[in-house]
Structures are given as structure tokens and as C-alpha cells.
Structure 1
Amino acid sequence: MDIFITDVKLDHSPIVPPLVLSYLEHSHSLSVSHLHWIPDHNEICVKSTHVLENVSQFSHQLVTCGIDGYVMMWDTRPQQSGKKPTSPHKTTTPPSLTDLDLTWKPFYKIPLPRSELPKTFSATRVSLRERQRGRRGRQGRGEVGDVENQQVEKGSANIHPIVSQTDAGTGPEIEGASTKYFVGTEDGEIVWGDWTPSKDQESGKFIPTRPDYFSYGHCGSVVCMERSPFFRDILLTAGGWTWAIWREGEKNGPLLSSCSCAVQYTCGTWSPSRPGVFFLCQQNGGLEVWDLMDRSHEPTLSQNISSLPITSINPFRITSKQEMLAVGDSAGTLHILDVPWALKNPSTNEDGIMEAFFERETQRVGFSSGRTAARAAAKRESMTAASAELTKEESAPEGELEPVWQEEARREYEDYLATENKLLIELGLVEPLPQDND
């Protein structure tokens, strides 16, 4: 079955039918807002949800999120076909991706309930810590000059659908593999959690774990959640009229956040070649380039690309000397931009400088949070002491408080008379009293 139609004689856009549709009753009840492929060097165990090494080096799993408040994990490997051979000399029909049509179900569902309300987080973006690597298998930060490894974040995984689920989960478990996920919501919250199931105290069954924490990051729907290609624990988010940079595990808030701009953001992405540069697109068709090595309070470059809202952006480094930026707007127009030299060539030790910058911001956020908590505790103590003093005065007998009140009133009245007499003398209305020379 040909997925793409290349007949040049067609005078209209061809309609490509879907190859596989999921089972509606087990899918998202509302719109799917984001899809994220699991990297092809690991896989999630269908039974235990542990992260295993993918020995086949083909990507078979993906993660979706929707505004219905669920994050779902899917596997594109169909079950072994149940068709029996009609002849003893024939074997069973090999599995095919079309076997999943209208029967495809997620193997794991992660609900996103709110802790204070009987509602759920409406997810618009999802991000996992592990990302797609280059063919050489990069473990940590990429080398700035390695062009192949710089495309790991936007690189596509090897997808091989004609594999049965009987071959799933055959690799060893990866020790220390992250099972954390970040979710951006329709209301601007940033949610962080762990997909590892926990044991229910009442039923004894393993159930999905509730999100660990959330923070009000933006004043509008989160439209961008991108991990830095140089630092796996650094995320860029944008929503409404603001953007923010977060660090995984830092629960005191974002490391860096912007003030509100005049136009809403629609999408964004990191630069694949410079650790301190990222791009943000706006509702009015504008493009902002932020260079944290230069300044952090305003964009380094602002340029209008289209008269319509920009809906998608994707940078691509062709060679070590050429980098392009693809931008698409709401009318379906694709704009290809050439990234200038200053925005694609990193400064000396830029990755180390940015790493130190993020570390300083982490310490600053922790210190600020600690000082805020200390001031709040001191304020509570002072209010408690004042309340105790007031209670003590109210509970004291009336005869004990009367002399104290009379003494304070007498002093205040004497001060008033002295001030009044001094003012009258200065105005010449009364003569000063003669001084006694004896």
C-alpha cells in the first residue's frame, strides 16, 4: 500500500486514508494535543512500565496526551495474528500493522488529576527526559562541532512496524533510566510526575501515580515544551504572553521567566547549534530570537515573517557552515530562512558558560524560595505574638489596666499642651513665661 501519491497529473490534493485507527472506546475522549515517539534505543515494558534497552533499535512506541486529562502510551507492534493456516504446509500469517486497525489500544494510561479539585489537567504538551540519539549513540551533552549528533532532538527514529508484540520487552532493564514526564496544560500549568505505578493501600493493586507537583507557569495555554539538545534537564516552555526555562526536579519555580509581551506566542524551539539560543514565534507572524549569552531581558532579534500566525518552526543544520530555519503559518505557507553566522556558531566554551548560568539560577531560585519561607514564618510568629498579647490584655481584670491607661493618656495630654504652647509663642499670640534666674 502506497502511502504517498506522486501522480503529477492530479489537479487536486490527494486524500490519503489512515492506515490504522485506534479503538475509539480506549482512546482519548477529547482531542489529542501532542504526540511524542519513544527513542529507538529504549522501550517501555508493557507489563511493568520499566525502561528497557531496545535491542532491535527500531522505534515501536509513542506517547500521546490530550485535553481529556490523560497521557497514554501506545505500541505499534500488533499481536500475533490469529489466522490459522488452511493447509498443514502453510504457516500462520505474519503480523502486519493493519492488524491494529480499529483494535489498537494503549498499553498504559496515566491520569492527570488535580489535587484540590475534582478535575483533571488538560494536557497540551508532553515531554520525556530521554530523547532520540544520533546513530553514534550520544549519552550526554552533544559536541558543538558534531553535526550528526546535533540533530538528535529533531531526528527521526527508525520505525519498523512489521514486528509482533511477542518480541517486546526482551532487552535488559536500563539502570537509572528516568521515568519522569513533564506536561503543559491548557490553563498554563507545568505538571511534573512519574509514570511508575504505585501500590494501592486498600486494594493492593498497582495504580498510576498522581503527579508530583505543578506550577502556574503561564497565563495561557502551553504551546511549546522543548528540551534543550545540550542539557537534558532543561526545558523551554511558552504559553500566552510569556516564556520560561525550567529545570527538571526544581520545584521552586522556573529558573528564568520573561515579562509579558504584547503578542501571544504560538510555538518555539531551541537552536541545534548554540546552547544559549532559542526561537519563539508569535500570533502576528513575528519571530523572536533570544540569545542568553547576549541578554535575557529582551530578544536579540525580532523579525516579521508572515501576516498570519506562525504555527510551526523547525531548525535544521545542513552542514557545519549552513543552518536553515523552516517556519509555517496558518495559511499553509512554508518559509525557509537562513540562520545568520552569529546565531549558528557558538562562542568559546558556550556550553560550559550556559551550564554555569543555569546552576547559578538554580541556586538563586532556591535561595529566594528559602528567604520567602523564612519571612513568611517570621510574619506568622509576629502575628501570633501580637495575638497572644491582645488576648492577654483582653483577659486581664479591668482594675489592672486602668492605671496604665491613665498614665499613657496623661503623658499624651501633656505633650499636646506643650506642643500647643510652643506653636502659640511662635505665632506671637501669647508671651513666653519669664524665666526664673534664682
Structure 2
Amino acid sequence: MSEHQVNTERFESSSCGINHVEGGWPKDINPNEMEQTIRFRKKVEKDESYMNSILQLGSLMEHCIRQNNAVDIYQEYFQDEDEVDESQEPPSAKTINVFRDPTEVKRSVTGLSWHPDGGRKLAAAYSCLEFQRSSRDMSLDSYIWDVENPNRPETTLKPPSALVCLDYNPKDCHTLVGGCYNGQIAYWDTRRGSQPVELSSVEQSHRDPVYKIIWLQSKTGTDAFSASTDGQVLWWDVRKLSEPTDRLVLDPGREGNLDRAFGAISLEFESTMPTKFMVGTEQGVVVSCNRKAKTPAEKIVCTYDGHHGPVYALHRNPFFPKNFLTVGDWTARIWSEDIKESSIMWTKYQTSYLMDACWSPVRPSVFFTVKMDGVLDVWDILFKQSDPMLSLKVCDSALYSLRVQDSGRLVACGSQLGEATLLEVCCGLSTLQKNEKTLLAAMFERETKREKILEARQREIRLKERSRSEQSREEEAGREEGEDDPDKMAARAESDFHSQVEAELRRRERREEEKDVCEEKEVKNESG
């Protein structure tokens, strides 16, 4: 038996400071003079000993650089595992703040817009859209709220008429544009107070409330366009709102007739497709338009008919712009630009009216809807198509508006009684999941192909029915032509009469023969 003892060498560490001063220069060279240092460097670089030392040191430095590249100390090696854990947690959302209308007569929150710089502020438009329900005591003011301070608004906006919609300028966080109830367009710069800087004239504005206004992607960052139920889409330059720069009448006949125009109630513009825009109408039809077309007939490209009532929301998927979401009546529908006859996916009919919807900016398969019963629904079409992933009762009154912040974490909902509720969704609903884009792209492609096949089948059935109806019409027409001739009608009637008489005579002869047979049988039985 032996005993062994092992101990490591003790390491003593000490900390000390060092003052670094540039050195190594000859005495006759001033390091602060650039010309002298450049001249000296050129002289040294030509020396053979310098070249040899650089070659020797180069191999050592290369070895150190390879060691540094082998292990990245800043890389998150277990990031995928964290994502899996987040996705496994149940979906949830919590209320952070509620911004209430400070006026006595409460109005509906009809429009919301997030501040483009980090979402620290929320602009809300307040108006009463119920017919003849607005009173003289009702305030016209709208507000900009600080998300951390729900007690009082940070800025008050004073439009000439109640604001129905508003939108922050994505290029300039101090400017907003809004659409009024009386059809006017107002432009604010928050650095210049509560009053609008520019205001469109009543004569050149919309004739109905402006339900949607959106900033356009332009070099100046001052272009916007608006839509109203008067059947017009107007383009504006906010530096000069005296008259619109362009105009489009939503006439389905493509003749520019305002009397037959569809009333616009929602609007969609994707900056990656600057020539295209889409309009949702009161008649349940989505109109796809080309902004750069020269004539009104060419500006309206096609229509998508899919809702029983007004299309309250219209939003392209930020990851797959060919697919867009619409909300109208009691259902939400997902469309593909390639199929105009029907949508490729839809939710089942809800018990209450859907009023607004939008896609998540970070998760391509998630979208949000709000309803008249005060419920916010969160849908994940990769997880489940028949029911929402999360349903949350936000308030007792109807929810009219919805807007998701760019990070996908904060959701703002506007109610009928003037409450703007700010909610925070869980990490699973605001973090991109593994393979989510590829799976959703495959789903959209599969559903589009399926719908194309079904539409082709329906088209064949309709053609067959049409050919059958045409044949039956021709036969009826032939019969009618024959019936019009009195000689042919008399001959047909005479032949029918003779055929009926002959049939009756045969019937009587058959009865008499049967009677004779029966009598003969009875006689035989009696004799037997």
C-alpha cells in the first residue's frame, strides 16, 4: 500500500495598469507630422530585413487568426434549442395599457398608427361612424399616446372634422396624414403644434368619409393616396393639398362613371410592388389596380368577389406578397393573385361580425382579427385552420380597429367606446419558427393548385350545362314551330284520336275473350 499526493503549481496573478504612448520612431522624426512618418515607412518597407521579419511573423499571425476563426465567442450555439422551447409554450397575451378617450362624449377608435421609430407612440383617430348619431357636443380631437403613459395623451391633433383614419410617415416620424369624416385630407407636423400644416379644400376632396389613407414609397416621402365610399381613389402631395395629383373612379364598367362606382372602404399598398395597389369595397369586391396605367380602363386590372358585405380589411402577406388577407361579413379569407374566382383558404363563419385584420410582421403564418363581440383572435394557419390559436376577450364593446407594431410583439385594438387597448403577445407568436417560411410557401402553393383544379372542373360542368340548355331550347323551339302550323296540329290531333280509339277497341275485345274463356271453364266444371 502506498500513498500518493498530487498538487498543481500555484499561479499568482497581479493586475497593473499601463500607459501606452506611441514610440519606436527615430529621434529626428516627429510622429505627429504625417509627411515625415510616410517618408520613413516607405524607406523601411524597401529594407530586406523588414521583408524577412514580416514573412516570419506572417506565419505566426496566420496561426492565431485561424484559432480565432475556429471558435466564435459571440456566436449563440444553442439558439435553436431556445426557439424550440419558446414554441412549446402555450400561446398567450397580456394587457399592458388601456388608453381611454378623455372627452365626455365617447367616440369610436376608427384608426390606429404606430410611431415608425421603435413604436414608442401610438396615434389614434376618433370619430362616430354611426349614421346621424354624432352630436354637437362631440369633440373633433384625436390624440397621440405615449405607450408608457395612459393617463393623458402626449399630443392632441385638431382636424376640421372628426378623423376616420391616419397614418405615420415611415420616412419622417414627426409627420402624419389623416382622412376626415367630411372627406378632407389633413397633414400634421408634430413639431409645429396641434393644428394641421396643410389641409385639402372641400371642393377638391372626397364627398364621403375617408376610410383609408396610406403613404406611398417615393423619393420625396411626401406622397400619399386615400380611398372613400364616394367611389374615388385620390393621390396627394402633402406639400400642396389644394388639389389631388391623380384620380381613379372605381367603376366596374371601366368607364369612369362615378354614379356606378363601388364605394371604397379599405386600401392596400405594398412598397415592393410600387405600381400595384388594391381596394376593398362596400359591395364585397376587391379591386386590383395598376397605378401606372394611362387610361381608367387599364387602371382596373381585375376583381375578386368573395364577401357578402363590405371588405373592412385588406392586407398582403409581408413575406408572400402574392397572397393577401381580406375580412368581411363573418369570415376571413386568404387569396392568391393567380386565382380570381375564389379564395384559397378561409375561416369558418363566426358568430359575430369581423371588423379588422392584419398579418404578423415577423411570423408569416400568423394573422390577427377583431370582432364585434370584443374578442381578439390570433390565427396560425400552419397549426390550425378551423379555429384560432388564441382568443382573447379584450373589452365588452365592439372592436373596430387593429394595428400590430413592427416587432410583432405589441398589438393595439380600438373599441367602439373610445378605448385603445395595448396587448403584448408571447414569444412564440412573435418569433420566427424553424422552417416556417418554407412550410407556408408549400401550403400556399398546394392550396392554389387545388383551387385551380376545382375551378377547371366547375368550368367544365358549367359548359356542359350550357350546351344541354341550348339543345333543350332548340328542341322546344322546333316544337313551337311545328305547333304554329294549323294543318300539322289537325293531323296530329286526328292521329292521336284514331290511336286512342284503336287502343280502346283492342281493350274491349280482350275483355270479351276473357269472359268467353271463363264461361267455358264454368260449363266444364258443372258437367264434370
TM-score of Structure 1 vs Structure 2, range by shorter chain:
0.5 to 0.7
Give the aligned partner of residue 33 of structure 1: 211
User: Following the alignment from structure 2 to structure 1, what is the Cα–Cα distance between the partners of residues 452 and 145?
Assistant: 56
Counterpart of 1:333 (choices 419, 428, 451) is 419
Question: Pairwise CA RMSD of aligned residues?
Answer: 3.8
Alignment of 1:262-411 (within 5 A): 262-316=351-405, 318=407, 323-392=409-478, 397=488
Alignment of 1:23-172 (within 5 A): 23-39=201-217, 43=218, 54=219, 58-76=220-238, 78=239, 100=240, 104-115=242-253, 118-130=259-271
**Comparing both structures, which one devotes a greater share of its residues to helix?**
2
Q: Deviations over 1:221-248 (max 9, x none)?
A: 2221111111112211112222111223
Q: Does 1:179 align with 2:275?
A: yes
User: Following the alignment from structure 1 to structure 2, what is the Cα–Cα distance between the partners of residues 327 and 66?
Assistant: 22
Cα contact 1:112–1:210 (8 A) shared by 2: no
381 and 285 in structure 1: CA distance in 2 versus 1, 3 angstrom threshold: same
User: Following the alignment from structure 2 to structure 1, what is the Cα–Cα distance between the partners of residues 494 and 465?
Assistant: 31
Cα contact 2:230–2:263 (8 A) shared by 1: yes
Give the aligned partner of residue 234 of structure 1: 323
Q: What is the CA distance between 1:212 and its match in structure 2? A: 3.0
Cα contact 1:252–1:366 (8 A) shared by 2: no
Q: Deviations over 1:84-130 (max 9, x none)?
A: xxxxxxxxxxxxxxxx4xx5221111111132994111101111232
314 and 210 in structure 1: CA distance in 2 versus 1, 3 angstrom threshold: closer
Q: What is the CA distance between 1:373 and its match in structure 2? A: 1.7
Give SS of 1:26's match. Answer: coil
405 and 75 in structure 1: CA distance in 2 versus 1, 3 angstrom threshold: farther
Cα contact 1:65–1:126 (8 A) shared by 2: yes
Gaps of 5+ in 2: 1-142, 147-151, 159-193, 483-487, 507-517, 522-528
Cα contact 1:111–1:210 (8 A) shared by 2: no
Give the aligned partner of residue 195 of structure 2: 17
Q: What is the CA distance between 1:5 and its match in structure 2? A: 12
5 and 213 in structure 1: CA distance in 2 versus 1, 3 angstrom threshold: closer
User: Following the alignment from structure 1 to structure 2, what is the Cα–Cα distance between the partners of residues 347 and 11?
Assistant: 37
Q: What is the CA distance between 1:284 and its match in structure 2? A: 1.6
290 and 28 in structure 1: CA distance in 2 versus 1, 3 angstrom threshold: same
Q: Deviations over 1:45-72 (max 9, x none)?
A: xxxxxxxxx3xxx512111111111111
Q: Percent identity?
A: 25
382 and 62 in structure 1: CA distance in 2 versus 1, 3 angstrom threshold: same
Give SS of 2:199's match. Answer: coil
Cα contact 1:193–1:212 (8 A) shared by 2: yes
Amino acid at match of 1:185: T
Cα contact 1:110–1:208 (8 A) shared by 2: no
Q: What is the CA distance between 1:371 and its match in structure 2? A: 1.6
Give SS of 1:23's match. Answer: coil
User: Following the alignment from structure 2 to structure 1, what is the Cα–Cα distance between the partners of residues 501 and 322?
Assistant: 65
Amino acid at match of 1:194: N
User: Following the alignment from structure 2 to structure 1, what is the Cα–Cα distance between the partners of residues 335 and 312?
Assistant: 15
Q: What is the CA distance between 1:394 and its match in structure 2? A: 5.4
376 and 11 in structure 1: CA distance in 2 versus 1, 3 angstrom threshold: closer
Give the aligned partner of residue 198 of structure 1: 294
Q: Alignment length, in residue pairs?
A: 319
